[in-house]
């Protein structure tokens, strides 16, 4: 169904390719090597002198705005290969505006990227990036620390195309600093052949029959959020006590061997090879897995599911701030958003993108592209969206406590 799945290949290459194509890419597992490389120098810099809270950046918008340094996640924008179009969105943008895009696929993991840039930002130095994409909670941290530039909305008139459900998140109620790049849902991916039955509830993941054959995510908000929903707690209003209860439940099931691992993107590989029968999973990944293994399902649990976004954010001191705003405005045109979505397969935050995708499909005469507009995981219906929850916007102290509890629960 999705066009960028390329025929069949042997198992090993398939495994690697699969993990390579997904967004929270396998480099995240390398958390390892990469983290160690950045950890050394940053650990030093981190303790070098006073940490400023709230910065006065002196380099904001002093550049010529002829280039845009854009730090994004791997495989998070359209490319020509395996796509529907002759040109990429970046090329279109360059020829329309004359701005050169220096596109860097360097954000593999929110925490790791934070570790990489925090030393400079905390000294109020710019990081030579004009735009980056960060998940809600990390964007919230940047705003809290004063490391985000306020968006000049007069440069981004198209921001009105932002879907209503994402217009006013807790961490940025007026969208002064961020605009969603993509959203996605977190719930359970499973293989009915191996579970032997249909799943309906989040708590099905605790079924003793699946002992040692289920995984959860290392992203605190995704895993804690789903477990809380299963316990009847609303993650958008969770207290520390709620977090403690959820962490306790996770810990018990980790210690008795029920939960096999806590994963980044690599659950896809375990799910595809049958090592696990059910996993906490991201919607976009499951769409891609289904291309190889149509049996796999993404469960919309009766208790609800988690919704997250990755947001475009202009880091403090960005030299080409106007260029970044020009880009934001550009991608918030429905036709551009539809083109990016045709490759990326997460949830599009731009109104009218679905119609634009059908329109584009008719123009180039591609049935597959038109069919993509009907995928409920890319353009979810209102009923599904009504079941989604966004994790609470935590303050510093809560974030530390929640993280502490969660890390203890997952045994790290």
Partner 1 sequence: MTTTAAVTGRRRWVPYLLMAPGGLWLLIFYFVPIARLVEVSLQSGIFPRYRFTWEVGNYLRLFTDFLPHLQRSLLYGLGATLIGLLIAYPLAYGIAFRGGRYKNLLLVLLLMPFLMPFLLRTLSWRIILADNGPVVEALRTVGLLGADGRLLATGVAVVAGITYNFLPFTTLPIYVSLEKIDRSLIEAANDLYASPVVAFWKVTFPLSMPGVVAGSLLTGIPAIGDYVNAELLGTPEQYMLGNVIQSRFLRVLDYPSAAALSFSLMLAILLILIPYIRATGTEDLVA
Task: Write out the two tokens for 34.
Answer: 């990469």
Among 1, 6, 17, 32, the residue binding partner 1 under the rule CB under 8 A is 32
Q: Is 135 in the site for partner 1 (CB under 8 A)?
A: no
Asked if 389 interacts with partner 1 (CB under 8 A), we say no
Q: Minimum distance between the CB of residue 261 and partner 1, rounded to whole angstroms?
A: 5
Q: Which of 83-91, 199-207, 273-281, 341-349 is the region at the interface with partner 1 (rule: CB under 8 A)?
A: 273-281
Interacting stretch for partner 1, rule CB under 8 A, among 46-54, 78-86, 131-139, 228-236?
Answer: 46-54
Among 3, 5, 46, 355, binds partner 1 (CB under 8 A): 46
- Residues numbered 221-240 forming contacts with partner 1, rule: CB under 8 A: none
For residues 172 and 269, which CB has a smaller minimum distance to partner 1 in the complex?
269
Distance in Å, CB of 384 to partner 1, minimum: 30
Determine contact, residues 182/347, Cβ cutoff 8 Å.
Answer: yes
Report how many residues bind partner 1 under the rule CB under 8 A.
54
Specify the stretch interacting with partner 1 by CB under 8 A; choose among 48-56, 151-159, 287-295, 313-321: 48-56
* Binding flag, residue 254, partner 1 (CB under 8 A): yes
Contact present, 146 and 140 (Cβ < 8 Å): no
Tokens 């629960």 identify what position?
A: 409
Tokens representing residue 151 in the block: 């968006």
All residues at 6 or more sequence positions from 357 whose CB lies less than 8 Å from its CB, including other chains: 338, 341, 342, 369, 370, 372, 373
- Rounded CA gap, 93 and 101, in Å? 8
Q: Output the smallest distance, CB 368 to partner 1, in A.
A: 31
DSSP state for residue 148 in the 8-state scheme: B
- Residue 145 touches partner 1, criterion: CB under 8 A: yes
Q: Which DSSP string corresponds to 196-265?
A: SS---SGGGGG-GGGTTSEEEES-HHHHHHHHHHHTT--GGG--HHHHHHHHHHHHHHHHTT-EEEEEST
Identify the DSSP state of 134: E
124 binds partner 1 (CB under 8 A): no
From 136, 149, 242, 269, residue interacting with partner 1 (rule: CB under 8 A): 269
Any contact of residue 262 with partner 1 (CB under 8 A)?
yes
Whether the CB-CB separation of 387 and 300 falls below 8 Å is answered with: yes
Does position 16 interact with partner 1 (CB under 8 A)? The reply is yes
Residue 175 DSSP one-character state? -
DSSP 281-322: EEHHHHHHHHHH-TT-EEE--TT-EEEEEEEEE-BTT-TTHH
Which residues would be at the binding site for partner 1 (CB under 8 A)?
11-12, 15-16, 26, 29-33, 35-36, 39-40, 43-44, 46-48, 51, 53, 109, 111-112, 114-115, 118, 122, 145, 212, 218, 220, 254-255, 257, 259-262, 266, 269, 273-275, 396-397, 400, 403-404, 407-408, 410-412
């Amino acid at each position: 169904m999705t066009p960028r799945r390329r025929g069949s290949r042997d198992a090993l290459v398939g495994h690697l390719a699969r993990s390579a194509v997904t967004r929270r890419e396998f480099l995240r597992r390398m958390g390892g090597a990469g983290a160690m490389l950045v950890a050394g120098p940053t650990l030093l810099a981190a303790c070098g002198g006073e940490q400023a809270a709230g910065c006065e950046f002196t380099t904001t918008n002093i550049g010529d705005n002829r280039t845009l340094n854009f730090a994004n996640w791997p495989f998070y924008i359209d490319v020509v290969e395996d796509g529907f179009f002759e040109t990429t969105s970046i090329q279109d943008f360059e020829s329309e505006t004359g701005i050169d895009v220096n596109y860097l696929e360097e954000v593999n993991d929110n925490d790791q990227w934070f570790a990489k840039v925090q030393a400079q930002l905390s000294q109020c130095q710019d990081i030579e990036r004009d735009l980056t994409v960060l998940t809600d909670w990390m964007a919230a941290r940047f705003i809290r620390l004063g490391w985000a530039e306020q968006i000049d909305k007069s440069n981004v008139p198209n921001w009105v195309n932002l879907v209503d459900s994402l217009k006013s998140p807790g961490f940025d109620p007026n969208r002064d600093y961020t605009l969603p790049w993509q959203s996605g849902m977190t719930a359970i991916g499973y293989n009915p052949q191996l579970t032997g039955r249909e799943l309906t509830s989040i708590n099905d993941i605790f079924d003793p029959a699946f002992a040692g054959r289920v995984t959860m995510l290392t992203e605190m908000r995704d895993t804690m959020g789903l477990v809380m929903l299963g316990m009847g707690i609303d993650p958008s209003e969770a207290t520390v006590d709620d977090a403690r209860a959820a962490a306790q439940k996770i810990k018990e099931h980790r210690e008795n061997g029920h939960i096999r691992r806590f994963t980044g993107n690599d659950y896809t590989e375990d799910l595809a090879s049958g090592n696990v029968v059910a996993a906490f999973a991201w919607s976009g990944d499951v769409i891609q897995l289904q291309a190889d293994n149509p049996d796999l399902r993404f469960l919309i649990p009766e208790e609800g599911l988690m919704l997250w976004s990755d947001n475009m954010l202009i880091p403090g001191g960005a030299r080409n701030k106007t260029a970044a705003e020009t880009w934001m405005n550009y991608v918030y045109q429905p036709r551009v958003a539809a083109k990016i979505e045709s490759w990326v397969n997460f949830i599009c935050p731009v109104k009218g993108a679905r119609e634009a995708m059908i329109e584009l499909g008719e123009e180039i005469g591609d049935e597959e592209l038109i069919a993509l507009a009907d995928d409920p995981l890319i353009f979810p219906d209102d009923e599904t969206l009504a079941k989604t929850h966004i994790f609470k916007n935590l303050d510093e102290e809560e974030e530390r406590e929640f993280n502490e509890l969660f890390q203890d629960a997952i045994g790290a």
